[in-house]
Each structure stands twice: as C-alpha cells, then as structure tokens.
Amino acid sequence: MAKREIITIPDPLLREVSAPVERVDDDVRRLMDDMLEAMYEAPGIGLAAVQVAVPRRIVVVDTAREEEERNPLFLVNPEIVSLSDEMRPHEEGCLSIPEFYAEVERPAACTVQFLDRDGKPREMDCTDILSTVIQHEVDHLNGVLFIDYLSRLKRDRVIKKFVKAKKAEAPA
C-alpha cells in the first residue's frame, strides 16, 4: 500500500470540485484502502480523496468508537438525496485543518446514494454523527470546508493561522 499524505489548508486543491469516478476498479479500491489507512493513522472518522490530493469523488468513513470493531464505509460518487429539517449541532474537526474544532449545525438526518466498493448502487439513511460526517465529506468533493459555515471573522482567523504556519516552515 502506498502511503498517502493528507494535505492541509490553504492548499488550493481543497477548493476544487472533485471529478466523478467512471468505474470502480482495482485502482479505485487501492486508493480507498490507502485513504482508509491514512484516516486510521491520523486518526479521523472520514476522509475524502481530495484530502490525499486526488480530486475524485471518493469518500471513506468509519464512525466506530475506539473500543468498537472497525466498520469502514466506502462511498464512490456519493450524492445526498434528502436532508431532514431537524438540525443537529456537532463540534467538527477536519484532518485538513488540524487541531481546530468548531460547532457546526447540519441536518440531523440525510439519505445518501453512492456506489459501494464493488461498484453496486446503494442507498443509506444516516443519522447522528454519521449524518454529520457524510455531509462534511460530500462538502469536500465540492470544495467546501466546515469552516465555511463559521463567521467570516472566525474563518479568516483560522486560514491566516495556517498560511502563517506554512510560511514559517517553507525554506527561505
């Protein structure tokens, strides 16, 4: 398995719209395995392919708690087809915005259609944290980050911090 680095803001790739996958083949499955490994290592509960610098519509998710058995989900070309009116607040983080957390309100339930690991069309009803994660990851495929839901002041402050940090580590 190839080790994949997770990119962070302000990498402009994170703002790109990812391209649909035409066929779920072994290359796609290998990429998903790499993504899963990078996600577990980070550790995180969701990862979009664009976060490992591959702007294609692929997401891996595992919301199992540490003491629970692993339960990976693989979603290709995920599309949210319905959202609840009821909202749910959650303190979100993102592997591409390390060590920053903020509360975001999203629909408490959603239904997502996608192709699974074998390329089979599937539909899944999501609630609680899974609803939050799925919406967060599908946002990534459209170049949207959870900080976009914060006030401009808060968002700009976070971005500035990362720009500064990157400048500091770049060779003169």
Active site residues: 137
**Site residues, Ni ion (CB under 5 A):** 94
Is 32 or 94 the residue whose CB approaches Ni ion more closely?
94
Contact yes or no for 42/62 (Cβ under 8 A): no
Is 18 or 170 the residue whose CB approaches Ni ion more closely?
18
Is 94 or 110 the residue whose CB approaches Ni ion more closely?
94
* Least Å from the CB of residue 124 to Ni ion: 19
Is 27 or 165 the residue whose CB approaches Ni ion more closely?
165
Sequence-ordered list of residues with C-beta below 8 angstroms from that of 135, at least 6 positions apart, any chain: 80, 83, 106, 107, 110
The β-bridge partners of 113 are: 79, 123
Residue among 58, 61, 47 at smallest CA distance from 19: 58
* Least Å from the CB of residue 129 to Ni ion: 14
The β-bridge partners of 89 are: 105
- Give CA–CA dist 21/141, Å, rounded: 12
Contact yes or no for 50/16 (Cβ under 8 A): yes
Sequence-ordered list of residues with C-beta below 8 angstroms from that of 141, at least 6 positions apart, any chain: 17, 18, 48, 50, 57, 59, 78
The end-to-end CA distance of the chain, in Å, is: 34
